[in-house]
Amino acid sequence: MRRLFCILLALLMIVGLTTSALANVAVGEQRVVLGADLNAEQREQMLRDFGLLPGVVPELTVTIQEERAHLQGVVPDSVIGSRSISSIYIITAPAGTGLDITINNINWLTEAIYRNALITAGITDARVIISAPVPVSGTAALTGIYKAFEDITGEELSEEAKRISIEEAVLTGNLAEALGDDENITALINELKLILDETQHMTDDQVRTEIRNLAVEHNISLTDTQVEQILRLVRSLEGLDIGALRGAVEAVIGNLDRIMEISQGVGGFFSSVGDFFAGIGRSISNFFSNLFG
């Protein structure tokens, strides 16, 4: 029994060490953000997709002008389009819970790409559903999520963090489309995020070497142009608050071995803990991605 208590305590410590921008927000806060150009039937469809009845959750609207304010210069106009139709539903979660993301009719960005972008913007603990009445790229949904979060907290997210998060989502989406592999691309980007305190002291050539080495580890073949694009993203990420993210991840990893040793002595109970952390090795970002799943 004492050993079981230790396992539970260790796991709670892991959750508690995760930094969250929602730490001071009441758990269970909800918002729906609907595209301004949805017709009445489509608005009803979005609420059905979210499992909601009209008027139950505070509703906001996002316009194409708001989308362009965030996306112009980062996303091609052809991708932004001329109408605002994609919609989102967000529920705040306890600090350390992570991001649970579901997408519907989103044909370019993936759950993993959204998750990484939101973490960069400062949103780390929430349940998010992203949907549209017809297939769309999904880039505009980021605007709706940021608007909902800011309405919940009453505070604006960093404009720089939002801009970089959108750049990250677009770059990752392009790379995933070109390489046919979003999982390893998002893992590579996450690993770079965790060594930003090192890369900021490296030359560009040294960072390029790090990127290429990580690409080999993840069985990714990058062109010189793609390496340059990732390098630019790394340099942008270095301008954000990298200490909290790195500190939280290091704290989690520091407990891995101890939890594995304890859990192995408790028969089949919590055997999933071992499965969850198995194969971590140097691929810290894969663990990070699973933690926030």
pLDDT of residue 281: 37
209: left (phi over 0), alpha (psi -120 to 50) or beta: alpha
pLDDT of residue 92: 96
Per the model's pLDDT, the better-predicted residue between 18 and 37 turns out to be 37
Cut 0.85: pTM above it? no
Q: Rounded to whole angstroms, what are the CA distances from 201 to 75, 195, 236?
A: 30, 10, 14
Whether residue 43 contacts residue 91, with contact meaning beta carbons closer than 8 Å, is answered with no
Selection from 129, 182, 160 nearest residue 236 by Cα: 160
Selection from 206, 60, 43 nearest residue 145 by Cα: 60
> Half-sphere exposure of 80 toward its Cβ, with a 13 Å CA cutoff?
18
Counting other chains too, the contacts that 247-251 makes at CB distance below 8 Å and 24 or more residues apart are 247/19, 248/17, 248/18, 248/19, 249/194, 249/284, 249/288, 251/14, 251/17
Q: Domain extents for the chain?
A: 19-166
Per the model's pLDDT, the better-predicted residue between 269 and 114 turns out to be 114
Whether residue 278 contacts residue 260, with contact meaning beta carbons closer than 8 Å, is answered with no
Per the model's pLDDT, the better-predicted residue between 98 and 288 turns out to be 98
pLDDT of residue 24: 60
Instruction: Give the SS3 label for residue 287.
Output: helix
pLDDT of residue 245: 60
Q: Is pLDDT of 122 > 50?
A: yes
pLDDT of residue 282: 39
Q: In the chain, what percentage of residues exceed pLDDT 70?
A: 74
pLDDT tier for residue 129 given thresholds of 50, 70 and 90: very high
Q: In the chain, what percentage of residues exceed pLDDT 90?
A: 53
Return the exposure string of 3-41: e unless at least 16 CB atoms fall within 10 Å of the residue's CB, then b: eeebbeebeeebeebbbbbbeebeeebbbbbbbeebeee
Q: What is the mean pLDDT of residues 142-164?
A: 94
pLDDT, one tens digit per residue, over 19-37 is 344 446 789 999 999 999 9
DSSP-derived letter for residue 108 is S
pLDDT of residue 265: 53
pLDDT tier for residue 97 given thresholds of 50, 70 and 90: confident
Q: Is pLDDT of 207 > 80?
A: yes
The label of the residue with tokens 């595209």 reads 35
Strands (E), 44-122: 59-62, 87-92, 99-106
Q: Rounded to whole angstroms, what are the CA distances from 223 to 19, 30, 74, 175, 189?
A: 35, 42, 21, 10, 16
pLDDT tier for residue 176 given thresholds of 50, 70 and 90: very high
Q: Phi and psi for 283 in degrees, rounded to 5? A: -80, 70
pLDDT, one tens digit per residue, over 56-89 is 999 999 998 988 888 877 777 767 777 889 999 9
pLDDT tier for residue 11 given thresholds of 50, 70 and 90: very low
Q: Is pLDDT of 15 > 60?
A: no
Return the structure tokens found at 66.
């708001």
Per the model's pLDDT, the better-predicted residue between 150 and 282 turns out to be 150
Whether residue 87 contacts residue 132, with contact meaning beta carbons closer than 8 Å, is answered with yes
